[in-house]
């Protein structure tokens, strides 16, 4: 019988993804990410800052980044009619800095 650990792709996934040590982020938290803090695609920095009303922060970290989903349609009252209109990778340190009350 072949064990899971023998499969190289499984070993890589376990090594790369770790549970993130971060306080809970309540839905509705407003966060601002500088262009250098988030990624519209895995290998490309964003070109503008963004203000996000957080819907959820994923609890798994990959290469120093976590997925954040939320809204950019309205700062005060999301009105796009979806559960989240923004979902991208963000530097964990950027999220952590804002939970600490500033950067
Ligand atoms: Zn929205």
Residue 34 in any domain: the answer is yes
pLDDT in tens, 45-64: 899 999 999 999 999 998 89
Give ion ligand 1 contacts, CB < 5 A: 71, 73, 78, 80, 85
Residue 55 in any domain: the answer is yes
Positive or negative torsion for Cα 34, 40, 44, 48:
negative
| Cβ neighbours, 10 Å, residue 69 | 16
pLDDT in tens, 1-33: 556 556 555 545 555 788 888 889 999 999 999
Residue 12 in any domain: the answer is no
Distance 75 CA to ligand 1 centre (A): 9
Domain that holds residue 52: 18-99
Q: What is the rounded CA–CA span in Å between residue 3 and residue 76?
A: 51
Residue 3 in any domain: the answer is no
Number of domains comprising the chain: 1
Helices (H), the chain: 8-16, 92-99
Name the pTM for this structure. 0.78
């Amino acid at each position: 019988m072949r064990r899971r650990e023998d499969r190289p792709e499984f070993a890589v996934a376990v090594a790369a993804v770790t549970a993130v040590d971060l306080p809970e982020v309540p839905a509705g938290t407003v966060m601002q990410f500088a262009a250098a803090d988030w990624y519209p695609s895995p290998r490309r920095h964003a070109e503008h800052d963004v203000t996000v009303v957080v819907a959820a922060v994923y609890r798994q970290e990959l290469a120093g980044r976590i997925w954040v989903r939320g809204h950019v349609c309205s700062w005060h009252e999301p009105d796009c009619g979806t559960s989240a209109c923004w979902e991208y990778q963000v530097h964990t340190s950027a999220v952590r800095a804002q939970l600490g009350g500033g950067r």
